[in-house]
Structure formats: C-alpha cells, structure tokens
C-alpha cells in the first residue's frame, strides 16, 4: 500500500492572455502550494477502481473521467503495462471544483502512488510530461513550492521564496466550472471592447513586485501584488463572493482574492494568529461554508507512508 499526500494551490498571480486557437489561454500563472492536502492511497487491484471519502466525496466522479484514474491508465500505457491493476482511495480535503486544483492534485498523487506501487521508478521529468497531458495544473501539484507557470500553465519554473506565508481559505457551497469561468472572462473582455483573442490581448508577464515580495518573504508586499484576471468573471458568475471577500478583509486580512477560477476565496494574513482569527470570523460571518487557516509554501506530491 502506498499513500501520497498532495497539496492544493492558490494562484498569487493569475495573468490571463487571449484565447488561443486550441481553446486554452496563455497564462502568467504564479502557483503557490498551500497546506490543504488530499491523500491518495494505491493498493493492488484489478483494472483501475476508485473510492473517495471527505465532505465533498459525493461530488467526486468515481469513473474513468476522474484525473486519478486517467493518471493510472496513462502511466501504465507509458510503460506498456497491458492491464493496470490498482485501487485508488482518495481522502479528499481540497474543495471540489473550488479553484484550488484538487482534481489535478489527485491526478498528480495517483501518478506518484502508482509509480511506487508498480515499482516503475519513472524519472521526475517524465512524470511532469505525463502530468501536463492530464491537465494544465497537474505538473505543479508534482512540483509544489512556488512556481511560475507559462503556456497554459504547464511550463514551470520554480521561484525563490523566503519563509512562510499564512493563508485562510473560505470554501463556498458548490463549485464553479473552470471552462465556464474562462468563457465568462472572454465574454467580459468582448463586452468591454478590448477583444478576447490571442491577437487582442498581450501575453501576460510575471509581476516583478510580486516576485520580489515572494523572494523577500514580505506578506504586506505580497498582499499588495496579488492579482487574478479571472476574479471579475468568477464574481460575475457568483456575485455572493464579494461578501466573502469583504468579510475576510473586515476581519483583518491584508490581501484577499478569488483562488484560481473560484469559488474558494483566499486571504493573506500577517501571521499565524491573524490567520486563525480571520478563519473564525469568516466561519461566523455566514458568507462561506467553511474557512481553513493554513500556511505555505509546502512540498508537492510525495509518498507519506513507507511500504509495508
């Protein structure tokens, strides 16, 4: 039995370029891995089967569309294993369809878990390539830490970070569809008259002030530099998120933004005590389903239990 622990992410910068011919958007995407984890446990089985526990388990698909199942099949096919045998159990704490790459995290964890269970020793670079085939956010869940994602988010460069930042995540009732949020972003750009294609929108760049804030470990500077080009679209689709953002700011957060495509809202706190207080205030505010205080950056997907 192999258990892999894998973190959620927040995007401290999500710069969205124009719509490409392949249906994706070029990004300047600064991923930040935070201490909210799923655990994927692989045991020998027949075919690829899945189970899931956790507060959102009922909304996790247990068929071949699940990224964990797709990851197991992709790894087996890459190594020419005719008939992969594995049962994957997902202990889910990352919100589902929450803008924290929980499905991508499970895909990354399944790659690492199956690689260990089947004794394949796949080079890390190959795992990263397989991860990119599964989805734009899957490679980062393998890498962890903080990284700049270019292209559709899959071309990664690790970024230097000093110290630990303290975060609070306010989980909403229900999810948002990532493609729907990108479509809404395009629609808002068309409505504003700026155009939404790759020819209309300049390719975004990482913000030097944000990179400097990460490198120096300065939460106030990072808070000032937080940006998410998908935030207006997420708010248009879920206007109540404005109340969540306001509640966290009122409770003392030094920075607030929608996490990725939402609807989870992310709050930066000045220290661990402030994060605990903000989480309590958000829970009491009634503007979210739950609020969790945590920290980051943390490591990417890794085996957390030794082989028996």
List 9, 26, 115, 186, catalytic entry: 9
Distance CA 147, CA 11 (A): 10
For ligand C5P, the closer CB: 178 or 231: 178
For ligand C5P, the closer CB: 27 or 234: 27
Residue 154 tokens, joined = 């899959």
In 3D, which of 15, 14, 13, 17 has the Cα closest to residue 196? 17
The string of DSSP codes covering 140-154 is HHHHBSEEEEETTTT
Terminal C-alpha separation, the chain: 7
For ligand C5P, the closer CB: 133 or 218: 133
Residue 234 tokens, joined = 């997420």
Supply the minimum distance, in Å, between the C-beta of residue 234 and ligand C5P.
13
CB 218 within 8 A of CB 270: no
For ligand C5P, the closer CB: 39 or 229: 229
CB 90 within 8 A of CB 37: no
Supply the minimum distance, in Å, between the C-beta of residue 132 and ligand C5P.
9
Give the three-class secondary structure for 302.
Answer: strand
Annotated catalytic residue 9: yes
CB 212 within 8 A of CB 96: no
* Interacting residues toward ligand C5P by CB under 6 A: 23-25, 27, 135-137, 152-153, 178-179, 182
List 26, 115, 137, 229, catalytic entry: 137
Annotated catalytic residue 137: yes
Burial 113-136 (b: 16+ CB within 10 A, else e): bbbbbbebebeeeebbebbbebbb
For ligand C5P, the closer CB: 185 or 274: 185
Residues acting as catalytic residues: 9, 137
């Amino acid at each position: 039995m192999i258990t892999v622990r894998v973190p959620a992410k927040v995007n401290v910068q999500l710069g969205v370029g124009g719509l490409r011919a392949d249906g994706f958007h070029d990004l300047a995407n600064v991923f930040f891995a935070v201490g909210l984890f799923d655990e994927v446990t692989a045991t020998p089985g027949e075919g690829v089967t899945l189970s899931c526990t956790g507060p959102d388990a009922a909304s996790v698909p247990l068929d071949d569309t699940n990224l964990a199942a797709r990851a197991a099949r992709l790894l087996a096919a890459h190594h020419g294993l005719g008939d992969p045998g594995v049962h994957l159990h997902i202990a889910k704490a990352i919100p589902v369809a929450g803008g924290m790459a929980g499905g991508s995290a499970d895909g990354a964890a399944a790659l690492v878990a199956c690689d260990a269970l089947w004794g394949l020793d796949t080079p890390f670079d190959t795992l990263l390539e397989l991860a990119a085939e599964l989805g734009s956010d899957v490679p980062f869940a393998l890498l962890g830490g903080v990284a700049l994602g270019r292209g559709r988010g899959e071309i990664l460069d690790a970024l230097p970070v000093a110290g630990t930042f303290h975060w609070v995540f306010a989980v909403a009732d229900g999810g948002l569809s990532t493609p729907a949020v990108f479509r809404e972003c395009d629609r808002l750009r068309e409505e504003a008259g700026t155009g939404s294609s790759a020819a209309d929108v300049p390719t975004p760049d990482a913000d030097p002030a944000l990179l400097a804030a990460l490198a120096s470990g300065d939460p106030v500077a990072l808070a000032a530099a937080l940006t998410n080009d998908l935030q207006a679209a997420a708010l248009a689709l879920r206007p109540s998120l404005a109340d969540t953002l306001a509640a966290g700011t009122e409770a003392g957060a030094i920075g607030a933004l929608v996490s990725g495509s939402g609807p989870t809202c992310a709050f930066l706190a000045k220290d661990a005590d402030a994060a605990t207080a903000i989480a309590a205030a958000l829970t009491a505010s009634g503007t979210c389903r739950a609020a969790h205080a945590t920290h980051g950056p943390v490591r990417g997907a890794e085996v957390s239990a030794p082989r028996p």
